[in-house]
Structure formats: structure tokens, C-alpha cells
């Protein structure tokens, strides 16, 4: 639906700089479309670089009308509230966008093409990214294990630690060096960037592994596939990592972690019983043990760590990387800050 020449406005009302806006940040960082404005009335007129570490001059505006004057053709809901549901206060903005002739990219769970169907005109569309496309997949049965390519799954200590970002950085580095690589998106932001993928959290538990397996089999001609990670085996509310492991039968795994994180961020903020992050060696062993399933399934190894150091100064970041490399005996790097050559070379 989304053509690469269409100009985007990213809707991030009252959330710029919050982890909920990772869709907007991801599209700005990796998407092929030109972004003409970010909409946030609370931050209008401020510098986007003060919120996201991006080299960009995209302005922050306060209203949709201002974004339209700058040439916006598509409104992207760049914020995903907790639970992924449509806030009532967003409905007027979406209606205004449709009345102005814009189309909408929607990463929420609510299917807006149904909610706003009466307001759509010819040549307008609403892309509900989290709506599965096509027939339900067959139940997974480890068919990906028969492939001859390298299947690299991004796993993490927590949600929102940078699995997608690290995976895209590795994919970009491989492509830039002429390797036959692919990035298989499993979440709304990755799908919006790549134009294809599966909304893993929209599938039932019975079909999730099969959906991953089908996506990986469809990419069999690629020598290296980077599979976007979701969730974490450590998180008590996450079930997404297991079907990714089972469906992709990874040959390699890359662990993603936030520097100096002692407790899962998503539990320490919302729970009376925050989950402590175990020693990273134990987290590595856990992911490898789950993948191998006591010898019943495909054996996979964690071969490197992508460390998110965005909250540290450069000296502290390099010290953390060196410390973790000594601790686990694997290559460690911040892919955004210092590049991914070290990790990519390990895969190759």
C-alpha cells in the first residue's frame, strides 16, 4: 500500500522520547520514505535530536494541519500505547487526516480500516499492520531446520532493548557489503520499514510458530536471514520468543541487552515484584537450552551481544562493552554507536 515516494507525518502526541514511540523512531532511522514532520503538541518547535539520537532536521509540529502544509500524504501512528489500543482522543485526528485525503499507517491492535471504513475515499487506504494477511499457517514442525542458510534470531533480556534496531543494523551492514541477506520483520515497526513480514502478536499461540516458519521458508533463497526478535524468555508476560525460536530453528542467536540494566524495565515500572536480570552467561545458556530442547530440536548458539549504551557517555559505553566481553567471552558491540562489523564478521 505504502509507496516509497509518499511523504509521511509521524503522529507522536505527548510521547516523543518515550519508549512507546519506537515505531516513529524506527521509521525515521531506517524507513525509505521521506518524513516531513513529527506531530506532538507538547514538544512543538523543539529539536528532534534532543529526544532521539538521530541526525535529522525533521521538524516537530503541533497539529496535523501544519504537517499537511509541509506536504504530508500519509499519517503514521508512530506511538503504540500500552496494550496497543486506540485512544479515544486520536479518533478526531485520524478523521481529519482522512477528510484531508491522507492515508493512514496503523500499528495498533484495533483494526482502523473497519472503524473508519465509511470515511475512506477512492485511492485512500488504512494499512492495519497488525492484521495477519492470507490463510492461517500450518502448525510448525521444524521444517526450517532443513534449510542450508544461516538463520540469525535476535533475542533479548527484556522487551524494548533494541532487538529490531540491532537486527536492522546487521542487515544493512551485510547488504552494504553485497551479501545475500534479508531481514524478516515480526512486529509492526519492522513491517512498516520493510513493507513485509508477520505481525507475530496478532496470531494465536497455536499458529504463531507456524507463521514464523512459513516466513523463514519463504526466504530460503537468502544466504543469511536476520529474524526480528520479540519479547524475552525472562519476562513473565511475554510468550513471543518461543515461537520465534521454534519457527526459525536459528543457526545463530544474537543477545540484545541494555547496559547496566539490573531489573527488567517493563516489570520494575509496573509491578510490585520486579524481575532481576540474571548473569548474562545464564541468560545465554537459557536461550541455547530452549532452542536445543534437551537435544530434541535444532542446536543454536548465541554468538554475540548487541549492547544498548544510549544512556551512557562514550567512555562509559566502551568500558561496559569491554567488561561484558571479558565476562562472557563473546564479541560485544553497540551497533548504532560503534557499528556492527564485529558482530557481522562473527556471523560470516
- Averaged pLDDT, groups of 10, the chain, 348 residues long: 94 91 94 97 95 92 98 96 86 97 96 95 95 90 97 96 97 97 97 96 94 98 98 95 98 98 83 91 98 95 97 97 98 97 95
- Pick the closest to residue 55 from 77, 21, 29, 79 (CA basis): 29
Residue 305 backbone phi and psi in degrees, to 5: -130, 130
**Helix H segments across the chain?**
22-30, 64-69, 91-99, 112-115, 163-176, 188-194, 205-218, 241-248, 265-268, 280-292, 314-328, 335-338, 341-347
- The pLDDT of residue 83 is 74
Instruction: Please tell me the distance from the alpha carbon of residue 328 to that of residue 278, in angstroms, as a whole number.
Output: 13
Contact between 7 and 143 under an 8 Å Cβ cutoff? The reply is: no
Residue partners of 135: CB distance under 8 A and separation at least 6: none
- In this structure, what DSSP letter does residue 263 have? B
CA distance 111 to 129: 9
pLDDT of residue 33: 97
The reported pLDDT for the residue numbered 1 is 77
Domains and CATH numbers, the chain: 8-128 (3.40.50.720), 143-347 (3.40.50.300)
Cα-trace Rg, the chain = 20
333: helix, strand or coil: strand
Check residue 265 and give its pLDDT.
85
Q: Which three cell numbers stand for residue 347?
A: 556471523
Which DSSP letter does residue 250 get?
A: -
- For residues 198 and 132, the answer to whether their CB atoms sit within 8 Å is yes
Q: Is 290 exposed, middle or buried (0-12, 13-18, 19+ CB in 10 A)?
A: middle
pLDDT score of 134: 85
Measured CA distances, 301 to 101, 140, 232, 247, 249 (Å)? 50, 21, 16, 16, 11
- Whether the model pTM is above 0.85: yes
Amino acid 133: pLDDT: 85
| pLDDT value of position 97 | 98
Q: Chain centroid to CA 51: how far?
A: 19
Q: Grid coordinates in use for 55?
A: 541526525
Amino acid at each position: 500500500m505504502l509507496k516509497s515516494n509518499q511523504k509521511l507525518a509521524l503522529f507522536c502526541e505527548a510521547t516523543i522520547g518515550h519508549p512507546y514511540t519506537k515505531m516513529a523512531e524506527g521509521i525515521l532511522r531506517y524507513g525509505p520514505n521521506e518524513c516531513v514532520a513529527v506531530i506532538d503538541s507538547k514538544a512543538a518547535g523543539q529539536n528532534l535530536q534532543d529526544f532521539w539520537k538521530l541526525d535529522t532536521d525533521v521538524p516537530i509540529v503541533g497539529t496535523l494541519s501544519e504537517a499537511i502544509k509541509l506536504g504530508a500524504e500519509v499519517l503514521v501512528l508512530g506511538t503504540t500505547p500500552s496494550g496497543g489500543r486506540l485512544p479515544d482522543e486520536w479518533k478526531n485526528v485520524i478523521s481529519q487526516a482522512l477528510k484531508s485525503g491522507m492515508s493512514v499507517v496503523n500499528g495498533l491492535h484495533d483494526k482502523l480500516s473497519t472503524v473508519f471504513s465509511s470515511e475512506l475515499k477512492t485511492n485512500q487506504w488504512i494499512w492495519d499492520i497488525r492484521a495477519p494477511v492470507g490463510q492461517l499457517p500450518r502448525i510448525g514442525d521444524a521444517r526450517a531446520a532443513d534449510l542450508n542458510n544461516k538463520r540469525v534470531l535476535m533475542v533479548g533480556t527484556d522487551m524494548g532493548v533494541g532487538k529490531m534496531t540491532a537486527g536492522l543494523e546487521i542487515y544493512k551492514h551485510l547488504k552494504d557489503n553485497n551479501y545475500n541477506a534479508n531481514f524478516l520483520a515480526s512486529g509492526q515497526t519492522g513491517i512498516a520499514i520493510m513493507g513485509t513480514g508477520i505481525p507475530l502478536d496478532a496470531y494465536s499461540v497455536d499458529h504463531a510458530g507456524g507463521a514464523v516458519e512459513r516466513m523463514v521458508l519463504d526466504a530460503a533463497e537468502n544466504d543469511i536471514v536476520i529474524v526480528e526478535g520479540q519479547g524475552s524468555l525472562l519476562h513473565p508476560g511475554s510468550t513471543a520468543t518461543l515461537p520465534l525460536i521454534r519457527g526459525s530453528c536459528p543457526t545463530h542467536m544474537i543477545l540484545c541487552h541494555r547496559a547496566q540494566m539490573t531489573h527488567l524495565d517493563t516489570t520494575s515500572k509496573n509491578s510490585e515484584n520486579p524481575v532481576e536480570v540474571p548473569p548474562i552467561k545464564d541468560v545465554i545458556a537459557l536461550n541455547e537450552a530452549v532452542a536445543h530442547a534437551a537435544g530434541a530440536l535444532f542446536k543454536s548458539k548465541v554468538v554475540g551481544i548487541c549492547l544498548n549504551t544510549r544512556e551512557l557517555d562514550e567512555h562509559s559505553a566502551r568500558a561496559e562493552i569491554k567488561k561484558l566481553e571479558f565476562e562472557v567471552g563473546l564479541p560485544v558491540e553497540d551497533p548504532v554507536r560503534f557499528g556492527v562489523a564485529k558482530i557481522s564478521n562473527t556471523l560470516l
